[in-house]
Each structure stands twice: as C-alpha cells, then as structure tokens.
C-alpha cells in the first residue's frame, strides 16, 4: 500500500468520478484506474461498484475510506517531519526515567532545554526499572534519572546528584496521624500497612517495609506490585505505606517524614567522561534547574 494508491482511492471516493479524480491528481485516468485496481488486489476486496455511467462505494469501500484518510494523514505527517529534521539537523538525546519522581523535574529541565538548545529533541524512555538498566548498559541511553542506590554502578559511570528526597509515610488525608509533622517507625506497627517489594523502589524503602511487615499482624498487611498501586490502596483507606516524598502535591494524601531516616540522593547517571557537547549542556541545565 502506498501514497499514490490511497490518494487515488480517496479522490475517486470523494468525487465518484475517475476522470474528475485524475484531473485533481494531475495524472491520467488510466493511472488512477491502475492504482485502484492494485489496491483492491492488495486488500482482496472491491472498493467500488462501477458501470459505464456510475461509480459508487461498496460497503467495504465506505469502511476503508475513513481509515485511508487517517493512514494518508499519518504518512504525510511522518514525511513532513523527516524532511524537516533532515534540514534542521535535530539534536537528539535519549533519557531514561524510572517513575513519577522523574517527570515533574524533567518537565522543568526540558522547558529550559527547549529555550536554550537549538533543535533539541529529547527522546524519553519511561519503562520498568530493569529494562532501563539494560538499555543503559547497552549504550541506548545517554543519561538515566533515578535514586542513587537504584542506578547501575560501573567504574566509567558518574552519578550527579540533583536533590535529596525524604523518606515518608504516606497516609490518606483523613487519617488520625495525618496531622503530625513527622512519624516514627514504631507508630506504624499498629496500623494497616500496604507492602510492595518492587525494583522501582529504593532499597532502603523496601528494607524498612520488610521490617514493618515482619512485626505487624498478617491481617493488617496488604501486598501489591508497584508504587502506583500503593498510592491507590492508601487513597482507598487500606492502610499506610512508605515511599519517597513525591514531586507533585496530591490533596488526597499526606506524606509525613519518617523519623531517623536520611533523605535519599536522587540524580542522574552518565558517562564519567562526557564527550558529547549536547549531553554536557543538558547536564548543566539539569543541575541549574534542580538548584533553583
């Protein structure tokens, strides 16, 4: 299937006249007929009822018309983008993101990059934690965002800290403990607790969750598979949990700093010797934005 086939089909479908369609396309009527015939063969169906006097769409042709317009629009858009990029020489940077903590900060960083770096084209990958590691090891990512203890470590890699994120107890907004300014680990032992052993969470968070899970009664424990499910269960009143403080405010939840814990270093990992001027400029902007 090609652009000429789709254009011919759409023009004939709109005009119901092969000669008129050929005139609009600036080709011969026989050329239009050949395009329609090859398209019908490819689809293995008739798109038009044709007599010596009339042309009408078949039911299959009517269905295909909407899809043909969509396909042609997407092809033209893709072609225009490729041609523009060929002329503009975009500067592409591949960036790995672990989760929600990355995205609000990433928004601010990319906003500045768009203003300061000509033809900057960020390619963001936000996929499961272990898959990001694999891409980074294979050289498919220029820079990877996340908590320091979660990021892969190699001698040729360097961690650049952007901020420290407190470890918190997350509670529904109406919980009796939600009025506190901070909370101790022992105070959680009498609560219902949502537990998650996920690679997406920093190891310190998982270790503390295990410590709580071992000390509370089993019927007070709710087990889930991701930090997003934790938040859903906490909002629904199934218990409290432990998570790094989020970047975005959620009025349905309260995050109380956990007493006796050290904030978690969060930042970027990248090649120790940055050879790419684009990556170097991106790292400088990320640091500047994080310090504001």
Q: Which of 13, 119, 100, 136 is nearest to 63 (CA)?
A: 13
Domains and CATH numbers, the chain: 3-87 (1.10.10.10), 91-163+265-291 (3.40.190.10), 167-262 (3.40.190.10)
- How many Cβ atoms from other residues are within 10 Å of residue 238's Cβ? 17
Instruction: Give the total residue count for the chain.
Output: 292
* Contact predicate 105/290, CB 8 Å: yes
Name residues whose C-beta falls within 8 Å of residue 76's C-beta, 6 or more positions apart in sequence.
3
Per-residue confidence band for 182, with pLDDT thresholds at 50, 70 and 90? very high
Strand, helix or coil for residue 124: strand
Q: If you compute the radius of gyration of the chain from its CA atoms, what whole number of angstroms results? A: 28
For 208-258, write each residue's pLDDT tens digit: 999 999 999 989 999 988 888 899 999 999 999 999 998 778 899 999 999
The winner for highest mean pLDDT among 79-83, 86-90, 125-129, 137-141 is: 137-141
* Contact predicate 6/15, CB 8 Å: no
Q: Which of 198, 196, 200 is nearest to 98 (CA)?
A: 200
Six-digit token string for 249: 């405010």
* Contact predicate 180/254, CB 8 Å: no
Strand, helix or coil for residue 92: strand
Q: Which of 287, 271, 270 is nearest to 105 (CA)?
A: 287
What is the DSSP pairing of strand 55-57 with strand 48-50? antiparallel
Per-residue confidence band for 84, with pLDDT thresholds at 50, 70 and 90? low
- Please tell me the predicted confidence (pLDDT) of residue 153: 66
């Amino acid at each position: 299937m090609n652009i000429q086939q789709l254009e011919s089909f759409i023009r004939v479908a709109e005009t119901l006249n092969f000669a008129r369609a050929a005139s609009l396309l600036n080709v011969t009527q026989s050329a239009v007929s050949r395009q329609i015939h090859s398209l019908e063969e490819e689809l293995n169906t008739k798109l038009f009822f044709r007599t010596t006097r009339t042309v009408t769409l078949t039911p299959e042709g009517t269905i295909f018309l909407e899809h043909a317009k969509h396909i042609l629009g997407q092809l033209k858009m893709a072609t225009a983008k490729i041609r523009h990029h060929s002329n503009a020489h975009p500067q592409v940077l591949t960036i790995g993101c672990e989760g929600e903590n990355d995205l609000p900060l990433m928004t601010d960083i990319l906003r500045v990059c768009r203003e300061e770096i000509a033809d900057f084209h960020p390619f963001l990958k936000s996929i499961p934690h272990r898959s990001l590691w694999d891409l980074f090891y294979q050289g498919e990512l220029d820079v990877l965002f996340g908590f320091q203890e979660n990021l892969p470590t190699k001698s040729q890699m360097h961690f650049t800290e952007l901020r420290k994120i407190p470890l918190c107890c997350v509670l529904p907004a109406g919980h009796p403990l939600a009025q506190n300014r901070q909370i101790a680990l022992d105070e959680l032992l009498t609560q219902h607790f949502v537990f998650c052993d996920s690679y997406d969470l920093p190891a310190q968070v998982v270790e503390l969750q295990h410590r709580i899970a071992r000390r509370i009664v089993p019927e007070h424990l709710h087990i889930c598979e991701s930090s997003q499910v934790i938040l859903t269960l906490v909002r629904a009143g199934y218990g409290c949990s432990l998570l790094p403080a989020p970047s975005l405010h959620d009025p349905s939840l309260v995050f109380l700093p956990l007493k006796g814990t050290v904030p978690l270093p969060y930042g970027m990992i990248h090649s120790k010797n940055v050879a790419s001027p684009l990556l170097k400029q991106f790292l400088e902007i990320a640091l500047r934005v994080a310090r504001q």
